[in-house]
Structures are given as C-alpha cells and as structure tokens.
Amino acid sequence: MSSPYVIDISNVRKTYSGGVEALRGVSLKVPRGEIFGLLGPNGAGKSTLIKILMTIIRASSCQGVMLGQPVGHKATLAKVGYLPEHVRFPEYLTGRQVIHYSAGLAGVPTRYAKKKTEELLEFVGMKTWAKKPMKTFSKGMKQRIGLAQALVNDPDIVFLDEPTDGVDPKGRKEMREALRELASEGRTVFVNSHLLGELEMICDSAAVMTQGEIVLQGSLSELIQSDGYTLSVEGDLSVDLQTKLERMQVKHENGELTVENKHLAQQLIDTLRASEVNILSMYKNKQSLEDMFLDAVEGMGPGAYQGESKKENKPNKEVVNKEVVS
C-alpha cells in the first residue's frame, strides 16, 4: 500500500559553512494531495528545507523519503515542481517564453512543451499578456508566470516558496484559487509562508518552524482547536454568582462566559444550573492560526517572530508536538 505521506523525513540537519545551524533535527510528514503550509518567521529555515528537498543544497544529515524515494534521488525531481522565493526570470523574455523555456529545462518533449505552455498560460490567467515581456508585469503577474513554470512537468508535489510575497489582495485570491485547483487534481502543494492569514484560508495541514526546529505540526482543524468553551446565558447574573464565577476563573463579557477547558466547562454548567440561569448556547472555542503560531513561538527568544501581530504579554505555554493524524 502506498504511504499517505508524499514527504516523510526525520532528523534533517543543515549547518552552513559559516557555522549557522539553519536546521536542527527537522522531522516532517506531508500528507498526499493536500495543501501543506510551512509557517515560520524570517530565518526559521523554511527555504533551506525546500532547497534540501530539491537537492539545491546538501543536508548535513537527512533521513527519509520524498515520493517513496530517498531525499536526494534526482530522478524523483521529474515529478516535483518548484517556485523559488524572490525568483527573477530574464526581463526581456515574454511570459510565454519563460514557461516554454522552463518546459525545455524540465525535459518536457518539444512536441508537448508548446501545448503545455498554452494550457498553463490559461490556467494562471495570463493568456492575454503572454506576448508581453516580463519587465512589463506586476509582481502578481510575475508570480503567476512563476507558478506556471513550476507546473510544466505535471508535478505530483509543487513547492512554492512565499508565492504571494508582495502580491496584492486580488492576486493573492487568484493564487489561492489556483492552489485549490491543483490540490483538487490530487497534487500536493507545499507552501512556505509567514503570511498566516493567507495559509489559514487554504491549508489542510501545517507545521510551524522556528529557529530550525518544527515546534507544531498537524491538520489545520487540530491546530486551531482550543481546549476552551464559551457559554452564552440569559439575563443578568447575581452578584453572588459573579463572585463564584470569578473564583472559578470564568471570564465574563457581554453575557458570554468563557472557560479554558472541558473540566471547568462542566463545573460552570453545574454552577449555572444550581443558580437557575438559562444557558442559551455553548460552543468549543477556536483560535486563529496566528494565535496558535504565537503560542508556539513564545519563549523562543527575541526576534522569533516579527510578523503581522501586535499581540503582547501572553503567558508562556508549553509547546506541544501534534503529529499529523493519518
């Protein structure tokens, strides 16, 4: 039976020649046919990991497989696509020429390359501008051509390193739609990003990397699941009851009572019933991917994340390693 994971690696280490320990024992499982997000602050080691999987750089140590073959197996790369970060194509080439040229580099037979190029121009919505040189394109248009060139070999896995970096909201939306379509065709889309909101909208599963280590990994629904519950209640609460709830560490705001775990939720229900308060609704809380990410990188030292959040002074929480559920 084939593995549910297209990438299953462990203990990947990379120390650059200057002595920078970019990866410090990374283990990762990427499920087949999903959009997988590798999140991490600048310098976390995300691009280093992709470059190792693409055999652009050599790992100091690496165990595991990609598409069933040991990492570094060159022939496997024929089934892999790649959009590098900060990619720059020759400015004088047209969009069509960039894709066609990439097809040649990927070894796509000439008789298919032309047809494939036209299909991909259509797929990324660049047919109308296909004859224009790259220098006339916006960042979003360049990234669309970049995505197209990563698909010339009909890859099973496509690595996209910061595909929406510098792209405007419309361009990002179009990129998301394209990625969903790729996953619906059964391809695995591996996206590196520090744009958490972006990934939250598209990823099926994700891992968080900081300072060369994976600190969290799992399906998105697992990762953003919180242990807490919120109950909404009818009417005002007596002073006596409010004091009790305070002692139980229940947060009370606008008729909503929030507790941090299942056990406290049970106690809260009992207390409310004893006080004859009507419970209108109860739901399990979710946290945003950003909250999850910040919880995971807290305590990692200064500069662990300088992203979009303004969240401050949260108490330290233990980092949990949630494995992907097969």
Ligand X SMILES: Nc1ncnc2c1ncn2[C@@H]1O[C@H](COP(=O)(O)OP(=O)(O)OP(=O)(O)O)[C@@H](O)[C@H]1O
Task: Indicate whether 48 belongs to the interface with Mg ion (CB under 5 A).
Answer: no
134 contact, one of Mg ion, ligand X, none, CB 5-8 Å limit per kind: none
Q: Which of 3, 11, 15, 85 binds ligand X (CB under 6 A)?
A: 85
DSSP bridge pairs for 188:
157
Report the residue from 1, 2, 18, 110 that binds ligand X according to the rule CB under 6 A.
18
Backbone φ and ψ of 31, nearest 5°? -65, 145
Q: For residue 164, state whether it binds ligand X (rule: CB under 6 A).
A: no
Cα–Cα distance between 204 and 32 in angstroms, integer? 11
Pairwise CA distance, residues 10 & 2, whole Å: 19
Nearer to Mg ion, 21 or 85 (CB): 85
Candidate segments 45-53, 94-102, 220-228, 237-245, binder of ligand X by CB under 6 A: 45-53
Residue 204 near ligand X by CB under 6 A = no
Part of the chain binding ligand X (CB under 6 A), chosen from 46-54, 124-132, 271-279, 309-317: 46-54
Minimum CB separation of residue 319 from ligand X in Å reads: 18
In this chain, which of 26, 80, 194, 229 binds ligand X, going by CB under 6 A?
194
Cβ atoms of 33 and 189 within 8 Å: the answer is no
Please select the residue that binds ligand X; options are 7, 12, 22, 152, rule is CB under 6 A.
22
45 binds, among ligand X, Mg ion, none (CB under 5 to 8 A by kind): ligand X
Single-letter amino acid code for the residue at 59 = A
189, amino acid identity: V
Does the protein bind Mg ion through residue 211 (CB under 5 A)?
Answer: no
Cβ burial, residue 157 (10 Å; 0-12/13-18/19+): buried
Beta-bridge partner residues of 217: 207
Measuring CA to CA, how many Å separate 188 from each of 5, 149, 159, 196? 10, 16, 9, 19
Looking at 31, 48, 77, 182, which residue binds ligand X (CB under 6 A)?
A: 48
Please count the other Cβ atoms lying within 10 Å of the Cβ belonging to residue 279: 14
User: β-pairing, 205-210 with 35-39?
Assistant: parallel
**Residue 43 vs 72, nearer CB to ligand X:** 43
Q: Compute φ and ψ for 23, nearest 5 degrees.
A: -130, 130
Residue 94: left if φ>0, alpha if ψ -120 to 50, beta else—which one? beta
Q: Rule CB under 6 A: say whether 19 interacts with ligand X.
A: no
- Out of 47, 97, 188, 205, point to the residue binding Mg ion (CB under 5 A): 47
Q: Which residues lie near Mg ion (CB under 5 A)?
A: 46-47, 85
| Residues of the shown chain interacting with ligand X in the complex, contacts defined by CB under 6 A | 16, 18, 20, 22, 40, 42-48, 85, 194
